[in-house]
């Protein structure tokens, strides 16, 4: 039976390479089609590790990490992630940002995706945040690499109380089949949460 770990602060540092490996493997799939490498990934994950209120959920099957999910205060994210909220007048000190959720294919459909959302929300509530957000890549329905039978995660997100916002950012990565990085559009989803304060 896989084990679920909840880590915060420096506790997550031992899982940097596992998270990087999972991001490369899982995000290579549609809709991200990410053609990544470990050097870039380890540097990317460092932004998460430097955050004072970071949070990470890890799924381990024996000694193997098969899934992971992260979150951090929006104020500690990169400028391109913060900018749409600042421009729209949101108070970003009250927003907790959900990073990636990555899970190997054979472990999907077992409720881990829902747990990733619920555990990060519980952490954000405990830290006094009032809003949750994440962003997801925008792809047209007729994208040539969209697999037959592809099921987007929108129903899961909506069931957990998230709604899409008219807020977008650009993130660049090298896509499978591309010779170099190009900018991709991502849309933010948000959920208000209510703390006891």
- Binned at pLDDT 50, 70 and 90, residue 168 comes out as very high
Portion of the chain with pLDDT greater than 70, in percent = 98
Residue-level pLDDT at 27: 96
Q: Is the peptide bond before 31 cis (omega within 30 degrees of 0)?
A: yes
Q: How many helices (H) and strands (E) does the chain have?
A: 5, 7
Q: What is the pLDDT of residues 45-68, one digit of tens each?
A: 888 999 989 999 999 999 999 999
pLDDT attached to residue 81: 96
Question: In 84-122, which positions are buried (b, 16+ CB within 10 angstroms) versus exposed (e)?
Answer: bbeeeebebebbbbbbbbbbbeeeeeeebbebbbebbbe
pTM: 0.95
CA atoms of 115 and 107, how far apart (whole Å): 13
**pLDDT tens digit sequence for 22-52:** 999 999 999 999 999 888 888 888 889 999 8
Alpha helices in 93-168 (DSSP H): 112-126, 154-159
């Amino acid at each position: 039976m896989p084990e679920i770990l909840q880590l915060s602060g420096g506790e997550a540092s031992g899982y940097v390479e596992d998270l990087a490996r999972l991001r490369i493997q899982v995000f290579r799939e549609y809709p991200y089609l990410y053609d990544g490498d470990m050097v870039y990934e380890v540097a990317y994950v460092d932004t998460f590790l430097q955050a004072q209120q970071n949070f990470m959920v890890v799924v381990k099957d024996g000694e193997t990490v098969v899934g992971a999910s992260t979150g951090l205060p929006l104020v500690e994210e990169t400028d391109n992630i913060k900018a749409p909220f600042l421009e729209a007048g949101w108070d970003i000190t009250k927003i907790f940002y959900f990073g990636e959720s990555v899970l190997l294919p054979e472990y999907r459909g077992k409720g881990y995706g829902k747990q990733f959302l619920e555990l990060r929300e519980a952490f954000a509530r405990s830290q006094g945040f009032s809003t949750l957000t994440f962003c997801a890549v925008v792809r047209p329905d007729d994208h040539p690499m969209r697999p037959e039978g592809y099921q987007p995660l929108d129903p899961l997100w909506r069931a957990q109380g998230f709604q899409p916002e008219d807020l977008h950012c650009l993130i660049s990565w090298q896509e499978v089949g591309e010779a170099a990085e190009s900018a991709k559009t991502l849309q933010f989803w948000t959920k208000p949460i209510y703390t006891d304060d």
